[in-house]
Structure 1
Amino acid sequence: MKIHARFLLLGTIVICLAAHGFCIGTITNSRCKCVNVISNFIHPRKYQHVGVFNQGSYCRKVEIVITLKHGKRVCVNPETQWVKRMVSFLGKRAAGTNEVITEESSTE
């Protein structure tokens, strides 16, 4: 009888942790990367890396994160005109040369 009680207790703990995202959240990246976004223009000379995170099951919006040369990460509004042009340009450039832009899923 004690073995059954231990398995029941262990199963309850696992279900509770999974419901709160402690077990699954670390594996699947269960939240959006950007809390605040900016719309201000950032000159391309300041870019080190541009990451595009497509919408997924945990984050329902496209996120664009620019890593600046001094290491700071900035989330930009993907709806602004300059960001749309920048992503289009970098996508074309990545197709022909070294990959400058990375598209990643937010559920990875």
Structure 2
Amino acid sequence: MAGIFKVFLLLAVMVCISYAQHNESGQQCLCQRVRSRLATKVKEIQIYQATIFCDRVEIVVTDQSGRRFCLNPKLKAIQKLLSNMMAKQNPSSTTSIPASTSAARI
């Protein structure tokens, strides 16, 4: 009887672990928290497209002092800021951001 109990206990633990991993999809993302506005001078902006490890687009900003933080890519103000920066960086090009990491230096 004790052997059956151990098997059921092991199965329960495996189900709990797999359920926890399933709920944490996208937890390998760089940005756990995002800011809604840009308050400091920007040195570099990196844009990470969605992958199998992280199911969302991430915008990582490095300020002049070297601190890194994330911006919310869904906000219109952030989208407008990025559009303006990309237009300044490539005035003759109208292509979109490639699937890999993009970085803009200011």
Q: 1:103 Cα shift?
A: 6.1
TM-score, length-scaled by structure 2: 0.57
* In 2: Cα distance, 1:103 partner to 1:67 partner: 20
Q: Aligned ranges for residues 13-92 of structure 1 at < 5 Å?
A: 31-43=28-40, 46-92=41-87
Q: Is the 8 A contact 2:37 2:78 kept in 1?
A: no
Superimposed CA distance per residue, residues 16-68 of structure 1 (whole angstroms, 9 cap, x where no aligned partner): xxxxxxxxxxxxxx92111111113325xx00001111111111000001100
**Tell me, what secondary structure is at the counterpart of 1:83?**
helix
Query: Relative to structure 1, is the Cα distance of residues 103 and 39 closer, same or farther in structure 2, using a 3 angstrom cutoff?
Result: farther
Gaps of 5+ in 1: 1-29
**Matched residue count:** 71
Partner residue of 1:13?
none
Task: List structure 1 runs of 4+ shifted beyond 2 angstroms.
Answer: 40-43, 102-106
TM-score, length-scaled by structure 1: 0.56
**Aligned-residue identity in percent:** 25
1:105 aligned onto 2:63? no
Greater fraction helix: 1
Q: Is the 8 A contact 1:51 1:103 kept in 2?
A: no
